[in-house]
Chain A
Amino acid sequence: MKFLCLDCDEQMAFAERREPGDGTFAAAFRCPRCQRAVALLANPMETQLVGSLGVKIGGRELDAPPFELARSTIRGRDDAFVDEEAGAAGPGTGPRPVLMWSAEARERLLRVPGFVRGMVKRIYADYATQRGIGEITPEVMDRARTELGLEGM
């Protein structure tokens, strides 16, 4: 999929993606020459068709966690997975800084279905770690959700 600015005959560049949580997504593209922007607004079916491929329009900031598609789409049982603690050091990565979760953020995380909770927690933790954020709050979760396209998480 390419977006062409007809006035400039220039390919537009991806600028921003939004997933408002109602099953749709929006992606903005901007012309690097004239700075004109257009938005692609996808309906739920189009959104789902793209999501079924396990991809994000505009690319990913973080690698897809294991079983991202299975865990975010299958209605599975809550105890299907045991996730290592988010923020744990991976092999050869060295220790990670301690990450705090506010009480409100923990409470919100508990509302995520158990089947997918561990994966969501890790995504938030990776988001915070990469940005040097020491504490995850509901505001940080909202920001991550918007920026990373965590539909329904």
Chain B
Amino acid sequence: MTFRTYRDVVGADGSGIAAQVAGQRARVDRRLATVRRIVAILSGKGGVGKSFITAALARLAAARWPERVGVLDADLRSPTVAGMLGASGPLRVNPSGVVPALGVAGVRVVSTDLLLEDGRPLAWREPSGDAFAWRGALEAGVLREFLGDVAWGELEVLLVDLPPGADGGVDLANLAPDLAALAVTIPSEESRRSVARALRAAADAGIRLLGVIENMSGYRCGECARIGPLFTGGAGAALAEQFGIPLLARVPFEAERAGEAPTVFDPTGAACVLEALG
């Protein structure tokens, strides 16, 4: 039996899948046309305070660009940034899209935290037996909808709080080609190694690296304001040197601010971060 194969047969797919995927990407492009900058907050390691820093950055940016800052929580499985920004649902849906929730300082927020029951994990309606086979595709699809179906409006900056891991920024870069990124690390060597992988993956994907923020960079005493040691190591400076990017801020841990919507940057750090955002 002889017959022609896929590329021999001229014409569009009968399934229409390729055209629909192209349509999805066009929908994201149209939506993001009113967003001036998209900045991913990444860290290869969990527990470094990435969402905390994202919320702090959002407040900082909102002071400069009131009501023109958005936060997309791409950490679908462990969403926290909406709570840190005081954003709550329900989300309004109208023909032009999903209206983001409003957090402190008018920051526009979308997160799975607004969709899930309190204390319930992200779970899918589909049969669970073989979920490993399609969960990644579903998560990528939901991220695409968070970008393309939300009526973000005119934004100076959309901050994207990525999940821990080396490749979150790569997925995002496929949807938002002019993506920039800030890395968050703690001082430890373990964090340096993990964040280096994430930065390398981001650089390889063509993401512009804006700089590094070192969180939990010492402990600030609530009574005397002296900063003492918390972790050993200097991951922030080492990563900055390794990748040729600036160390934008070193943020000490402050117990009395834990759990609050953070405003953690000192004036020098704030100026550096805002300059990095452009």
Contact = CB atoms under 8 A, between A and B. Distances in A.
B276 interface: no
Interface residues of B, number: 49
A58 B134 contact: no
B125 A58 contact: no
B13 interface: yes
Interface string B15-50: 111011100100000000000000000000000000
A80 B89 contact: yes
Contacts of B13: 1-2
A132 interface: no
Interface string A103-129: 000000000000100110000000000
B18 to A, nearest CB: 9
A82 B6 contact: no
A80 B125 contact: no
Contacts of B130: 45, 48
A58 B16 contact: yes
Contacts of B117: 76-77
Interface of A: 1-4, 6, 9, 11-14, 23, 27, 29, 44-45, 48-60, 64-70, 72-77, 79-84, 88, 90-91, 93, 115, 118-119, 152
26 contacts: A1-B13, A1-B14, A2-B13, A2-B14, A4-B4, A9-B3, A45-B130, A48-B127, A49-B137, A51-B126, A54-B144, A56-B16, A66-B97, A66-B98, A69-B138, A72-B125, A73-B126, A74-B112, A74-B116, A75-B120, A76-B117, A77-B117, A80-B114, A84-B92, A88-B94, A119-B93
